Amino acid sequence: MKYLDEYRDARLARALVAQIVQHTTRPWVLMEICGGQTHTIMRYGIDELLPRGIELIHGPGCPVCVTPLETIDKAIELSLRPDVILVSYGDMLRVPGSRSDLLRAKAQGADVRIAYSPMEAVKTARSNPDRKIVFLAIGFETTAPANAMAAWQARREGLTNFSLLVSHVLVPPAIRALMVSDTNRVQGFIAPGHVCTVMGCKEYEDLVHDFRVPIVVGGFEPVDILEAVLMLVRQLEAGEAKLENQYVRSVSYAGNLPAQQIMTDVFQVADQKWRGIGPIPQSGLRLREDYAAFDADRIFDLHDITIDEPAECISAQVLQGLKKPPDCPAFGMRCTPENPLGAPMVSAEGACAAYYHYRRHPVAK
**Which stretch of DSSP H or E encloses residue 16?**
helix 10-23
Burial of residue 17 (CB within 10 Å: 0-12, 13-18, 19+) is middle
Of residues 175, 222, 223, 166, the one with CA closest to residue 195:
175
Of residues 82, 144, 146, the one with CA closest to residue 110:
82
Alpha carbon distance 76, 81 (integer Å): 9
Contact (Cβ atoms closer than 8 angstroms) between residue 187 and residue 158: no
pLDDT confidence of residue 98: 87
pTM of the model: 0.93
Q: Angle of helix 144-157 relative to helix 118-127, nearest 10 degrees? A: 20
pLDDT confidence of residue 364: 47
Q: What is the 3-state secondary structure (H, E, C) of 290-342?
A: HHHHHEHHHHCCCCCCCCCCCCCCCHHHHHCCCCCHHHCCCECCCEECCECCC
Question: What distances in angstroms separate CA 360 from CA 41, 98, 316, 340, 346, one per listed residue?
Answer: 12, 27, 19, 16, 16
Per-residue pLDDT of the chain (365 residues; tens, 9 = 90+): 566 788 999 999 999 999 999 999 999 999 999 999 999 999 999 999 999 999 999 999 899 999 999 999 999 999 999 999 999 999 899 998 888 999 999 999 999 999 999 999 999 999 999 999 999 999 999 999 999 999 999 999 999 999 999 999 999 999 999 999 999 999 999 999 999 999 999 999 999 999 999 999 999 999 999 999 999 999 999 999 999 999 999 999 999 999 999 999 999 999 999 987 889 999 999 999 999 999 999 999 987 767 777 788 898 899 999 999 999 999 998 899 888 888 899 888 899 999 999 976 555 44
Residue 281 CA to its chain's centroid (Å): 17
Distance separating the N- and C-terminal Cα atoms of the chain: 43
> Domain coordinates of the chain in residue numbers?
1-319, 320-357
Spell out the residues 6+ positions from residue 66 whose beta carbon is closer than 8 angstroms to its own: 60, 169, 274, 275, 276, 277, 319, 343
| Alpha-carbon dihedral 127, 128, 130, 133, rounded to 10 degrees | -130
Contact (Cβ atoms closer than 8 angstroms) between residue 41 and residue 56: yes
| Architecture (CATH level 2) of domain 1-319 | 3-Layer(aba) Sandwich (3.40)
Q: What angle do CA 304, 310, 311 make, to 5 degrees?
A: 120
DSSP lists the bridge partners of residue 86 as 112, 134
Of residues 204, 196, 68, the one with CA closest to residue 136:
68
Helix (H, G, I), strand (E, B) or coil at 179: helix
Question: What distances in angstroms separate CA 249 from CA 18, 61, 217, 259, one per listed residue?
Answer: 24, 21, 11, 18
Rg (CA), the chain: 21
pLDDT confidence of residue 348: 80
DSSP 364: P
Single-letter code of the amino acid located at 196: C
Contact (Cβ atoms closer than 8 angstroms) between residue 267 and residue 170: no
Q: What are phi and psi of 338, to 5 degrees?
A: -80, -25
Q: What are phi and psi of 154, to 5 degrees?
A: -65, -40
Alpha carbon distance 173, 280 (integer Å): 7
| Alpha-carbon dihedral 193, 225, 283, 73, rounded to 10 degrees | 100
Q: What are phi and psi of 88, to 5 degrees?
A: -150, 160
pLDDT confidence of residue 365: 42
